[in-house]
């Protein structure tokens, strides 16, 4: 029946996304190491599901640059270099700079026109930023990644262009996957990670794009220096 077919399609699509999210979190947490190989069958057995949504999830993660497909063998976690990280940071900088430029051209673009909605949205972003800062200062990279991704996605969404927000989110996931592969070489990350989230919210809430750019530039320089130093080890 058409209704049953549709429900099955939705269920498979949801399962596909759930598996993709779970594996992405495994990579971000460093539990799936760079170069680590696995097959569709192994993942399907691990999660107790059929092969089809697993294969689709792995293809999705390959398209996002997190996995590499090995012909007739399976998949393995993509290994990023410091040069890859620099390229990702440059790409995400172009997006944030474009958002700041849009704010300069159209000051009403950020925050949203509805004042109550704007206040609530900024308050939510600030809460994510505060949690990210706490995790950063404590050196808890797993918690930091979760809040940091939500922080940037919610912040960029406030500029009104969902395509740029989604693209920036994808780049930030890639940059964290790359960073984690290097950060795992440190046993203590306290004080080593950027924690200027609320400063950036304050700058943007005052439409101070010059300060916002300075904060982001400082963040990028800090992150690049850290990853390149760890890569040299």
- Position 3 scores a pLDDT of 36
Q: Rounded to an integer, what distance in angstroms lies between the CA atom of residue 169 and that of residue 184?
A: 22
Domains of the chain as residue ranges with CATH: 2-77 (1.10.10.10), 82-232 (1.20.120.530)
pLDDT for residue 22 is more than 90: yes
pLDDT for residue 233 is more than 90: no
Q: Rounded to an integer, what distance in angstroms lies between the CA atom of residue 218 and that of residue 224?
A: 10
SS (H, E, C) 2-50: HHHHHHHHHHHHHHHHHHHHHHHHHHHCCCCCCCCEECHHHHHHHHCCC
- Position 117 scores a pLDDT of 76
- Position 113 scores a pLDDT of 60
194 CB-near residues (< 8 Å, 6+ apart): 136, 219, 222, 223
> Mean pLDDT over residues 203-218, rounded?
94
pLDDT for residue 57 is more than 50: yes
> Mean pLDDT over residues 208-218, rounded?
96
High-pLDDT (> 70) share of the chain, %: 90
pLDDT bucket at 10, cuts 50 / 70 / 90: very low
pLDDT for residue 215 is more than 80: yes
Please tell me the pTM assigned to this model.
0.85
> Mean pLDDT over residues 134-161, rounded?
94
Q: Specify the higher pLDDT residue, 223 or 70.
A: 223
If we measure between CA atoms, which residue out of 27, 76, 49 comes closest to residue 177?
27
The chain-wide mean pLDDT, for the chain, equals 88
End-to-end CA distance of the chain: 60
pLDDT for residue 72 is more than 80: no
């Amino acid at each position: 029946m058409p209704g049953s077919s549709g429900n099955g399609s939705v269920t498979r699509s949801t399962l596909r996304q759930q598996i993709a999210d779970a594996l992405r979190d495994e990579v971000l947490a460093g539990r799936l190491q760079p170069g680590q190989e696995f097959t569709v069958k192994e993942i399907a057995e691990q999660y107790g599901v059929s092969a089809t949504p697993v294969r689709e999830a792995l293809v999705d993660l390959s398209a996002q640059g997190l996995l590499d497909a090995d012909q007739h063998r399976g998949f393995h976690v993509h290994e990023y270099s410091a040069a890859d990280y620099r390229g990702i940071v440059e790409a995400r900088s172009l997006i944030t700079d474009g958002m700041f430029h849009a704010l300069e051209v159209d000051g009403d673009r950020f925050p949203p026109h509805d004042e109550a909605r704007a206040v609530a949205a900024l308050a939510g972003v600030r809460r994510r930023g505060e949690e990210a800062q706490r995790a950063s200062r404590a050196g808890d990279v797993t918690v930091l990644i979760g809040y940091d991704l939500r922080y940037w996605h919610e912040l960029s969404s406030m500029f009104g262009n969902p395509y740029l927000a989604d693209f920036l989110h994808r780049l930030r996931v890639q940059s964290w996957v790359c960073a984690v592969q290097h950060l795992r070489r440190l046993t203590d990350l306290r004080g080593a990670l950027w924690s200027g989230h609320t400063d950036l919210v304050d700058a943007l809430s005052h439409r101070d794009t010059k300060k916002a750019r300075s904060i982001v530039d400082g963040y990028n320089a800090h992150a690049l220096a850290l990853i390149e130093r760890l890569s040299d080890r």
